[in-house]
Amino acid sequence: MAATPARFTFRARTVVVDVPHLGFATAIAAWCAWFCQDAWRAQRDVENLIMILPASLLAVILYCFVAAGCVHIVSDPEQGAVAPRQPLAPGMARKIAGTMALLATYVVAGPLIGFDIVSFAYILAMLWFLGERRILVLLLVPALFCAIAIYCFNTILATPLPLLFFAGDAS
Amino acid sequence: MIDLTALAAAVHLLCSSWQPWLVVVPGILLGLIVHAVPGLTTSMALAICLPLIPYMDFLQALIFMTAMYAGALFGVAIPAILLNVPGSAAAVGTTFDGFPMAQVGRHNEALGLALAASCTGQAIAYLLLLCFAEPIAAFAIRLGPPEMLVVALWGMTLIARLRGRHLARGLLAGVFGLLLGTVGLSVRGAARGTFGFDLLLDGIPIVPAIVGLFAAAELFNLVGRDYIVDDLTRRRVDAGRILAGMRDTFRYPGTLLRGALLGSGIGILPGGHAIANLLSYSEARRAAKDPEKFGKGDPRGIIAAESANASSEGGSMATLLALGIPTGGATAVMLVAFGMHNITGGPAFMRDHTDLVYAVILSSLAQVGILAVIGFGFIFVAGFVVKVPLRMLVPIVLALAVIGSFALAQNMAGPITLAVFAVIGWLMQRFDYPVAAVVVGLLLGRLTEGALLRTYQMSGGDIGYMLTRPIALVMLALFAISVALPFLRPARPQVAAGG
């Protein structure tokens, strides 16, 4: 996610575009427009569209303002070189992407395989990924978390969680 | 207003036996602990305890449930302040200034502020309930969709106030949230925006979405740091500073009282407890001479949000006891407890069991004092979170949030919502969109749509119908004044100068 905007030259003018931000705003506006179309397709009556239609139109109008703010035409090529936001610290992009990827894996694998083993593996992997190297901590923290969390949810709160090894009666 | 004979009978009920009091401390503790887990809600905790209710007498059962409710109302503030994790919609406003205070090492003061504001808010609400239980009920029954629509519109002005540095981005975020809030089945059964997934027919699970937007997005940014509070000397958990925070609460009596009154008023409306904290925060910010300080660790933000959140309990209890109508999940579970004792809430209950109603109110007032003591001890322990290295805290909080989301939704929708909204929240933060505006939109989306639709159906599309609703008109006038005041204020000195 570059903090420096893309630059294009068009008829002796430099166009500076904050592409990541424009992409994000476009994604929001596209979802709003799609949602409106989906609601329209589902049922074309006042009861269904009383709020969705005006809100979606407003979203598209607001998007135009945001998109316009993402594009700057400058005559001086040096102008507009200022980053639109603070760049991430070195290594942060990798850490954040890794954290997101591990979270996504956990969210999908937890309910499918079982929260006991997957929680243990997730916390161990995250600890390792974030720089923990002490073996005792790497094993003890996930084990304690799993024991306490599973006991609390399954036994005290009687909330069945999908488990692989400790299913027992609760699940 | 107060039936003194019934009041004396209530005092006798409470003082003649120690048994009703046995359940207060466990109830408050349970409420506090449950809300330490992101994703768990008061109604869930109350529902889990329902099997215990037949073994208690009715008064004891009610005291137990109100104690849990009281503990939970404050409990949500703890993760909101320390981790930017609002355990429920009721704590969203607390995160705005609570977490910025924690990040600069003022977590002790922030927790103290929240505890004192919560206890005072509850006390004011129950005093109001004690004095005006019947008039409140009579008022509540006259509120309908048009009035709810005005409240929802009032709540939406918060989107504009939370817009951040860029107006268009803030408003776009708010509208995006509003639309997200309407995903799922319409009132006439049309599926909208579900991508064909049955799991989304009930709408986007709100709590996992809020936890994802706020907490996970913030936690992603914290992975590069060692501790929440960088400065070692500020990482202490200090009872003196917690007490100082509690004392500081009373330096802003106007904010405290406004929050408590707003919360009590909004709490009587269905779903009102979820937006009371946001409305109060918005009004405190509007009334402040220096609104730019809000969102950067201003104590008034915490006081406004917490006092309104806590006092909304009194409002919702008024509707439950006097009308037998639940205004949210927690009071709905309480109504089930009524049924377990073959008691029906409502006007007849108020008339025939006034002593019981007063006993519940008086015990709730006493619970406020007990909550202050237990809550102090609890936040002293919870405050140690700032001493835990983030490389341990981040995975533990994320894992708890995922498990809590699954437990709440009982299907994949909870965890998946959390993960998706975590990424959206981080991207919004990165591109300088106010995440809070999406959350406000998300909370108000279905509420506004429902109120708008019912108002439309009642009025048949005739706008003149609003003229037949005096309460809605008064609320609309207050709303208009609230919106117009900030524009009128800067004009005053000019008028004076001109004069």
Cα B127 vs. chain centroid, distance in angstroms? 19
Asked whether residue A68 carries a pLDDT value surpassing 50, the answer given is yes
pTM here is 0.78
More confident residue, B328 or B120: B120
% pLDDT > 70, chain B: 91
Q: How confident is the model at residue B496 (pLDDT cuts 50, 70, 90)?
A: very low
Asked whether residue A101 carries a pLDDT value surpassing 90, the answer given is yes
pLDDT at B490: 55
In whole angstroms, how large is the CA radius of gyration of chain B? Answer: 22
pLDDT at B80: 87
What is the pLDDT averaged over residues B369-373?
93
State pLDDT tens for residues B394-435: 999 899 889 988 988 888 888 999 999 999 999 998 898 888
Interface of B with A in 189-228 (CB under 8 A): 190-193, 216, 219-221, 223-224
User: What is the average pLDDT score of chain A?
Assistant: 86
**Contacting residues of A for B40, CB less than 8 Å apart:** 157
pLDDT at B385: 77
What is the pLDDT averaged over residues B480-486?
70
B201 φ/ψ angles, rounded to the nearest 5 degrees: -65, -30
**Contacting residues of A for B216, CB less than 8 Å apart:** 103
Does the beta carbon of B418 lie under 8 angstroms from any beta carbon of chain A? yes
pLDDT at B142: 73
Spatial distance between the Cα atoms of B104 and A40, rounded to a whole number of angstroms: 48
Q: How confident is the model at residue B184 (pLDDT cuts 50, 70, 90)?
A: very high
Spatial distance between the Cα atoms of B141 and B238, rounded to a whole number of angstroms: 47
Asked whether residue B170 carries a pLDDT value surpassing 70, the answer given is yes
Residue from the list B166, B175, B192 with its beta carbon closest to the beta carbon of A38: B192
pLDDT at B119: 94
Q: How confident is the model at residue A122 (pLDDT cuts 50, 70, 90)?
A: very high
Asked whether residue B233 carries a pLDDT value surpassing 80, the answer given is no
Strand partners, B237: none
What is the pLDDT averaged over residues B342-357?
78
User: What is the average pLDDT score of chain B?
Assistant: 83
Q: How confident is the model at residue B487 (pLDDT cuts 50, 70, 90)?
A: low
pLDDT at B338: 81
Asked whether residue A27 carries a pLDDT value surpassing 90, the answer given is yes
Please provide the distance, in angstroms rounded to a whole number, between the alpha carbons at the two ends of chain A: 43
Asked whether residue A6 carries a pLDDT value surpassing 80, the answer given is no
Name which of B98-107, B199-208, B281-290, B315-324 the model is least confident about: B315-324
pLDDT at B118: 93
Q: Which of B23, B368, B428, B41 is nearest to B217 (CA)?
A: B428
pLDDT at B306: 93
Spatial distance between the Cα atoms of B282 and B162, rounded to a whole number of angstroms: 9
Name which of A76-90, B183-197, B225-239, B405-419 the model is least confident about: A76-90
Q: Cα–Cα distances in Å, from B48 out to B41, B45, B330, B370?
A: 11, 5, 12, 23
State pLDDT tens for residues B36-93: 666 667 776 777 777 778 788 888 888 998 898 888 888 888 888 888 877 777 888 8
In whole angstroms, how large is the CA radius of gyration of chain A? Answer: 25
B interface test, pick of A118, A159, A166, A171 with most B CB neighbours within 10 Å:
A159
Enter the tokens of residue B14. Answer: 């409470």
Gap from B16 CA to chain A (nearest CA, Å): 33
**Chain A to chain B, count of Cβ pairs less than 8 Å apart?**
173
pLDDT at B488: 63
Name which of A78-87, B216-225, B367-376 the model is least confident about: A78-87
B interface test, pick of A130, A146, A163 with most B CB neighbours within 10 Å:
A130
SS3 assignment, position B192: strand
Nearest CA in chain B to A91: B224
